[in-house]
Amino acid sequence: MNLAAPRWWQLAAYGLPGLPLAMAALPVYVQVAAYYHQLHGTELALLGWVMFAARLLDTLQDPCIGYLIDRLRHVKRWLLAGALLLGAAFAALWQAPTALLAPALWLAIMLCLAYSAHSLLNITYLAWGSRLPAQAGHGTAPLLSATAWREGWGLLGLIIGSTVPATILSQSPAQVAYRMGWYSLAFAVLLGLAVLALLTLAPPWPATAQATPHWRGVARQIWANQNFRRLLLPYLLNSCAVALPATLALFFISDQLQAAGLAGLFLGSYFVAAAAGLPLWTRLARRYGALACWRGGMLLAIASFAGTALLGPGDVWQYELICIAAGTALGADLAMPSVLAARAIPAEQAAAAYFGVLTLLGKLALALSGLSLPLLAMLGYQPGQSSPAGQLALPLVYAVLPCALKLLALLTLHRADSEPVPQLRSTA
pLDDT of the residue at 137? 47
* pTM attached to this predicted model: 0.71
Domains 1-207 and 217-419 belong to one CATH topology? yes
Does domain 1-207 bear CATH number 3.30.930.10? no
Q: Which residues contact 170 (CB under 8 A, 6 or more apart)?
A: none
Q: Does residue 243 contact residue 368 with C-beta atoms inside 8 Å?
A: yes
Q: Tell me, what's the pLDDT at 425?
A: 40
| Rg value, the chain, Cα | 21
Domain boundaries, the chain: 1-207, 217-419
Q: Residue 343 in contact with residue 230, Cβ under 8 Å?
A: no
Q: What is the predicted pLDDT for the residue at 138? A: 47
Q: Which residues of 161-185 are buried (b: 16+ CB within 10 A; e: fewer)?
A: bbebbbebbeeeeeebeebbeebbe
pLDDT of residue 47: 73
pLDDT of residue 151: 78
- Confidence (pLDDT) at 90: 92
Digit-by-digit pLDDT tens for the chain (428 residues) are 445 667 778 888 888 888 999 888 766 766 777 678 778 877 756 776 787 788 778 877 777 777 777 666 667 788 888 899 999 999 998 888 877 778 889 988 998 899 889 888 888 887 777 666 555 444 556 667 777 788 788 888 888 887 787 777 767 777 888 888 899 999 999 999 999 988 888 777 666 555 555 667 677 777 778 888 888 999 999 999 998 888 788 778 888 888 877 877 887 788 888 888 888 888 888 888 888 999 999 999 999 998 898 998 888 999 999 999 999 999 888 888 888 887 887 766 767 777 778 878 887 887 777 677 777 777 887 777 666 766 788 889 899 999 999 999 999 986 554 444 344 343 33
pLDDT, position 35: 78
Burial 385-420 (b: 16+ CB within 10 A, else e): eeeeebeebbbebbbebbbebbbbbbebbeebeeee
DSSP letters spanning 162-196: HHHHHHHHTS-HHHHHHHHHHHHHHHHHHHHHHHH
**pLDDT at residue 421, rounded to an integer:** 39
Tens digits of residue pLDDT in 371-420: 777 777 778 877 776 667 667 888 898 999 999 999 999 999 865 544 44
CA torsion angle 269 272 277 279 (round to 10) = -170
Q: At what angle do helices 215-224 and 44-71 cross, to 10 degrees?
A: 90
Cβ proximity of 50 and 184 under 8 Å: no
CATH of domain 217-419: 1.20.1250.20
pLDDT digits (tens, 9 = 90+) for 114-145: 988 988 888 888 777 766 655 544 455 666 77
